[in-house]
Structure 1
């Protein structure tokens, strides 16, 4: 008895009369290189009942014939098509051939509940990491999102494109994945709908790229698919196979600590020294290093604030919390330190604002623990643990930024602290102004910022993806001291993983040991 349909695995050159029943797993348009507003081809990934996948293409001359006949996720009977070798460095399937639609190709919608709807072919992250050159085949990976960078933008061919890097971890290992353009918005929306904590993320049809001699992943425009906490059996297996030990899993940590400069570089060689008197009297906005003593806490001031999982502050509203960054109401918040301290030196006094990462380092206690003990009391109700700060002498890297805000209240935002005795001693021995040479770019618009040269991770991703002709990635809106290099970039004003409020601080990573097994 002649079978009704051929298996996709049977498709090969040299034969005609193929007839298949397949689901369109993925469907996208490829724009013309020279005319981006015009479609060059219609591409798709097809899967049959056995789970075998094959790529299919519709050339631009036939686009009008098949565009309205095909929909992603639907099942079709297909016949009268041509077969060609599958080549190139962005192959969506392992099948050696691809389907090429012709004018005579027949497409008929049908039922096909037995055909897989997601069609993932998972690749272990350890296998991804073994690659030493760019891989020609796109891969599917599934794992916990164990870190994420701030959202950035870079300029290429005069256009501003968003970018974010996240870390994905399964039982075999971990690697980084870069998302560009519309995929950053997609991730933000999916994260906003997730239930909190470290989500499981599926990245389907991702490109393996090599940068800095390491294999990483990145999206392929219009092709890659991203799902958060997908309801699949493999996600349950990931949950059982990866444990986190002492690592905080209540939110996704920020990555990027590798590019953070050393304490010596930050406090001794990069920024000017100032006394408190000089800090108050200077007309120059910028970042300065001050040696001062903490005299105590400012009376009747809040010492913590409620934050969304995107790390921005939230305000109580309608029985929930409203986050401006996510532009929605949220029902969970995380307390984070924001402590105003009185400081003094031999020349004057001042008020510094110390944020979550530095406060945790100084107290060796997370904010949530102290808020719980204090029963959420805030202004004026300081925990006894704060007493250990009084009389403490240390270096403060502070920002003075009076010209950009009409709300300057005379206090200074602390960007980093250092109580290392050796560094403090070296600070006193070094000359008066440890000011690095600075570049200035004339006539830059006010919304233009620059990339710090230390941000090699983002720069490498951009170069690996688009080559050296692309402008360097921009500093995030929350990293306001990245202003001394010469590449202009636009500042990101809103977004899920960007800290732009004056009361938000960059997150300090405190990784625990990650157990895999």
Structure 2
């Protein structure tokens, strides 16, 4: 289910690129100061003003010198499969006033100059960027195109933008369809449910080198789903800002940017660097959960303060594994392993 939901203050009649009368008067006033009287200034149709900003739906690689006005919905860094290497690029999820989304990428070479200026939830006018086909794997949004920042890309923050820009961008997958998306490398997965259990952080992976936390949620039919978070996401997951320690009532949570995996016959979701979660999101799909929780006797299970204390102190050691042992391993249990393969070959001469 595709969703792009804005705040309750949004103006439903405002369309992408439309401006209020004050903006039009400002343009006419500018013409007057340049030597042309206001009375002589030609009427500027709103349709022409809309052309100042190109909707995301009209972007294509051949169209140049366009300007988009978008809100930054999400932002994350990509440092390779191990997530501890050098910065490869910064990722952005952008949405325009029509609710259309696109994935944008800031190369590592421009991360300091461009990336540090882009903040989540801010609205920007962006120009001089490259439009290119989106990557064929792990797409965070459903768009066949993506944006790449260049040395000449400019991003100007918009003060007091209209309230029509979406706050949440999601494409919800039902729990029963998670299994059929196992090993689907085309798109990342978003889900919503009631948070019923927060597992304590623990060490796992290659010689206990990673911090892991399991989160359990239930859908409206009480089907359960596990989401496994890794590293900083595992240690940083907290509901302290949502409810206090004495409140054990489940809360609604939406996870976006996950991968469907399977281990020992059980399907689950694994967190990625693109994974983000929202507590009690104000979206239509969450309303039935809020209604159910009003009369539900479900209790949220959470770790104690002592169980929350977890630290990886053991450095990985080199181990010998046979090919069969490697094939039987769950790759998601080793997200930060760096492998230096070495094969020993034995030749047996038969007489």
* TM-score computed with the length of structure 2 as normaliser: 0.66
1:355 corresponds to = none
1:218 corresponds to = 270
Q: What is the deviation of 1:10? A: 2.2
Distance in 2 (alpha carbons) for counterparts of 1:78 and 1:47? 12
Distance in 1 (alpha carbons) for counterparts of 2:234 and 2:332? 15
Residue in structure 2 matching 1:196, options 240, 248, 262:
248
Give unpaired runs (5+ residues) of structure 1.
Answer: 253-308, 313-322, 328-445, 449-459, 472-517
CA contact (8 A) 1:170 1:242 kept: no
1:505 corresponds to = none
Q: What is the deviation of 1:150? A: 4.2
Q: What is the deviation of 1:147? A: 3.8
Off by >4 Å, runs of 4+ in structure 1: 32-37, 189-192, 241-245, 323-327, 466-471
1:465 corresponds to = 332
Distance in 1 (alpha carbons) for counterparts of 2:149 and 2:205? 37
CA contact (8 A) 2:84 2:336 kept: no
**1:208 aligned to 2:208?**
no
CA contact (8 A) 2:200 2:308 kept: no
Q: What is the deviation of 1:56? A: 0.6
Q: 1:210 to 1:29 in 2, by over 3 A?
A: same
Which range moves more in the overlay, 142-151 or 85-94?
142-151
Q: What is the deviation of 1:31? A: 2.8
CA contact (8 A) 2:83 2:336 kept: no
Distance in 1 (alpha carbons) for counterparts of 2:235 and 2:125? 35
CA contact (8 A) 1:208 1:217 kept: yes
**1:229 aligned to 2:280?**
yes
* Aligned partner of residue 39 in structure 1, secondary structure: coil
**1:183 aligned to 2:233?**
yes
Structure 2 counterparts to residues 55-454 of structure 1, below 5 A: 55-110=103-158, 111-156=161-206, 160-171=209-220, 173-190=223-240, 193=243, 195-221=247-273, 223-240=274-291, 249-252=298-301, 310=303, 312=304
CA contact (8 A) 1:23 1:74 kept: yes
* Aligned partner of residue 65 in structure 1, secondary structure: coil
Q: What is the deviation of 1:213? A: 4.5
Q: What is the deviation of 1:40? A: 2.2
Q: 1:191 to 1:40 in 2, by over 3 A?
A: same
Distance in 2 (alpha carbons) for counterparts of 1:61 and 1:151? 35
Listed one character per residue, the Cα deviations across residues 238-288 of structure 1 (whole Å, up to 9, x for unaligned) are 23358998xx51332xxxxxxxxxxxxxxxxxxxxxxxxxxxxxxxxxxxx
Q: 1:325 to 1:32 in 2, by over 3 A?
A: closer
Q: What is the deviation of 1:152? A: 2.0
Give unpaired runs (5+ residues) of structure 2.
Answer: 1-46, 316-326, 339-351
Listed one character per residue, the Cα deviations across residues 176-221 of structure 1 (whole Å, up to 9, x for unaligned) are 2111111222223548845422222211211222333443211112
**1:23 aligned to 2:71?**
yes
Q: 1:227 to 1:77 in 2, by over 3 A?
A: same
* Aligned partner of residue 255 in structure 2, secondary structure: strand
Distance in 2 (alpha carbons) for counterparts of 1:326 and 1:34? 24
Q: 1:42 to 1:151 in 2, by over 3 A?
A: closer
1:12 corresponds to = 60
* TM-score computed with the length of structure 1 as normaliser: 0.46
CA RMSD of superposed structures (Å): 3.6
Q: 1:148 to 1:68 in 2, by over 3 A?
A: closer
Q: What is the deviation of 1:36? A: 4.2
Q: 1:170 to 1:69 in 2, by over 3 A?
A: same
Q: What is the deviation of 1:69? A: 1.9
Aligned residues: 271
Distance in 2 (alpha carbons) for counterparts of 1:469 and 1:45? 25
Q: What is the deviation of 1:132? A: 4.6
Q: What is the deviation of 1:154? A: 1.5
Q: What is the deviation of 1:108? A: 0.9
Give the number of the structure whose alpha-carbon radius of gyration is greater.
Answer: 1
CA contact (8 A) 2:201 2:307 kept: no
